[in-house]
Structure 1
Amino acid sequence: MAREGARPAYDPAGPDDALRSALQELRTGRWLAMRTLLEDTAGWAAWTRRTQVLATAAAGTDVVRAWLAEEPHSVPAVVMRARVGVERALRARREGHRRTHELWIEAWDMSQEAARSAPPDPVPWVCLLALAQLDRRRLWDEHRVAAPEPTLPPGPWGLLAEADKRDPGNREAHHRMLQFLYAHAASPRPAEAEGFAQLVGQTAPPGSALHLLPLYVRVERYRREGGRDTALDLFWVAEDATREALRAYEAWFERSDPAERSPLDLNHLAHALWGAQRFPQAARVFDAIGPYYTPVPWTGRAGRPGEPAEAVEVFLRARARSGATP
């Protein structure tokens, strides 16, 4: 039952044992397991997810550079170099590093090379989308393309279209687009981001993880508006919040392949259903989560946001409350 289970801990690999093994090797400076993992990866969804997680771990190392030195014509290595370059540029911006612009341009060049080396691959276009948020004044032409819907602002829609052409409904590509809209928002509650999430969620096919985009927007809105006071807690049970949670449950959770579900998506759905007091549905999602907790979105409901231990306590309370319902 959802009320039972060991105390959770965050694991970036989630239930992907092969990815976990490759990460362990990567952290010791070895790249052969990463190469083997990527060679064995089937499907763009798994490829996108695994390259992202690997890049997060590799960004502080020279592992990918060593791989390329040994195998300079390896296409997966070229794609991973772009992934690592993007991760470093985004980290530099978050930390206010003086080399941010230099790392951004380097990552853009790497992503362009990856796109040329791997024409069918959506990941180089996801990389370019991720970098678009660094262009805060939208100076680049490719970041000022007219939107496909008149209610949405200009942005890197061409980059999204390229990723979508290679992998329709690519989860990370749409989340990167959402990050771009947040980065260029003129208000604490950007209508553009909400409109984009609603539009994508309403048009996504059954089983698509894009049905959860409105849940991510609601968590971000809660964070931006202060969170954790009684008045704001009420909006989790509002009609639109409940509707979004149930739509995601019915259109994604009940129709998706359990092996392809992201732990981050599962945690957002459990959080939304618990907040909407839809406890029987939340219990099923908690059972699917198992031990694969993710700090977000639970940190936003903790007494001290960003405190990992408190976020785990919120998760445990939500799981117990949901599992206690007959």
Structure 2
Amino acid sequence: MEILWFLIAMGLLAAVVVPYVRRRRGGIRLVAPGSPDAADPAAYGFARQEELDVRLPGPDQDLLDVLDLVQRTQDWRAASQLLAGTEKEGEVRWQRVQAFAGAASLELQERPPHQGGEGHEGRVDLRKGQHEGPYEEPRADAAAGRPAGGAWLRAWRSEAPEDAGCAAVYAEFLVQQAWRSSSSGTDEFRIILEEARTVCGEAALAAPGDPVPYIIELAVARGLGYSHEQFDQLWANVIDRAPAHMGAHLAALHYWCEKWHGSRQEAERFATAAAARAPQGSLLAALPLFALFEHLPEVNLVRGFYEGETVTKAVEGALYAVHAARPDDPMLAHVRHLLVLFLVRSERWAEAMNQIVRVDGHVGALPWTHDGDPAAEYAVYRALAVAGYEANGGSPATLPQ
């Protein structure tokens, strides 16, 4: 009997491991870089792994130029001007607010304001220039001769307290700090998110038609555990201002997922309803693929899962959305990145390559940001796609650009 149980266990283990080691079509496998048998992504003009930009899902040169200027000079005015000139209802403003907040949060992580005893990292109160308990003001990084990380955001907040763009960036900064530096459910986590909710209210008052403060609060709602009724009221404020906002729908989808305050069925229902009412050319038709991704099993024991009806239907919906969308839709890269994962796992190599060639260079999007090293995770899938493409007769010369 023990032998039988051992054989069953080994069979299950093989079912999990073998698909990652050897692909059925063409015997696809990963080999050491530099091996004569290794497919070379560089032959396709793809960026090297160390050159991949983890900050954004796709190019936004205006944002990158301003972000570089702000971080180099510690002068917030260029960021304020960029946000003031960015359409309130569009996707770009939300992405730029996230990028500025993320930059300040990462700076603070790299150059914290206090290097005290164990467990005493300190959090900067950029909103009021005050601090309570262990919180510290930003101080110069003595070793590098630079101010503590995020000093430009503190200056922006104190020198332009009525700036709606700054309020939005600071609210998002607090949200990212809560998820980055605290554990969900702890007192510190709740304190930071409560403060973020307050700043969201300030940002909404400063810019009444702007959906971004309410979109930021969707993450607060998830962390603080809003009831379904409270969340629906918040969601109404979002869709009243931007009914087809893809970024907002992605943020709301997290709340309805099984791991937070909903279920697989509720998340699927939310995504399917949004896709059904999506206007022509909207990427909301791809939302069911994101709902599927959020509920993928940790370990897949179903042979042919990625060739099955559920995955195929969601992938085809996302491909339809991509083909129908405007080429300059700022959310297009988000959908393409997720498609890469599903197309590779479905062994649809040529279609995966068609997506990779359009997003390569930037990896700041799902599914890669779920990993501690987004560039490395993306590079693995890209290498698999190249290997599978070449094993089935593809080459750089046959890949449409």
- Fold equivalence (TM over 0.5): yes
Deviation of the 1:322 alpha carbon: 4.3
Matched, 1:144 2:228: yes
CA distance in 1, matches of 2:302, 2:45: 30
Matched, 1:317 2:401: no
Conserved in 2, the CA contact under 8 Å of 1:75 and 1:114? yes
Amino acid at match of 2:379: V
Change (3 A) 1:101 1:310: closer
Q: 1:178 aligns with which of 219, 242, 253?
A: 253
1:108 is aligned to 197
Q: 2:84 aligns with which of 39, 43, 67?
A: 39
Deviation of the 1:163 alpha carbon: 1.1
TM-score of the aligned structures, taking structure 2 as reference length: 0.67
Q: 1:265 aligns with which of 308, 331, 335?
A: 335
Conserved in 2, the CA contact under 8 Å of 1:194 and 1:214? yes
Conserved in 2, the CA contact under 8 Å of 1:108 and 1:128? yes
Question: CA deviation digits over 1:45-93, x for unaligned, max 9?
Answer: 1111111121111233132221132223322222222222222233344
CA distance in 1, matches of 2:253, 2:303: 24
Change (3 A) 1:133 1:30: same
2:264 is aligned to 190
1:168 is aligned to 243
Change (3 A) 1:129 1:5: same
CA RMSD of aligned residues (A): 2.8
Matched, 1:72 2:161: yes
Matched, 1:5 2:45: yes
1:150 is aligned to none
CA distance in 1, matches of 2:369, 2:189: 28
**Number of residues paired by the alignment?**
300
Amino acid at match of 2:65: S
The runs of 5 or more residues in structure 1 that have no matched partner are 146-154
Higher helix share: 1
Secondary structure in 2 matching 1:241:
helix
Change (3 A) 1:185 1:110: closer
1:217 is aligned to 291
Question: CA deviation digits over 1:192-250, x for unaligned, max 9?
Answer: 2222222222332232222222222222222xx223x5x34621111121111111111
CA distance in 2, matches of 1:299, 1:69: 32
Conserved in 1, the CA contact under 8 Å of 2:163 and 2:206? no
CA distance in 2, matches of 1:236, 1:201: 21
Q: 1:117 aligns with which of 203, 206, 220?
A: 206
CA distance in 2, matches of 1:109, 1:317: 46
CA distance in 2, matches of 1:272, 1:289: 15
Larger radius of gyration: 2
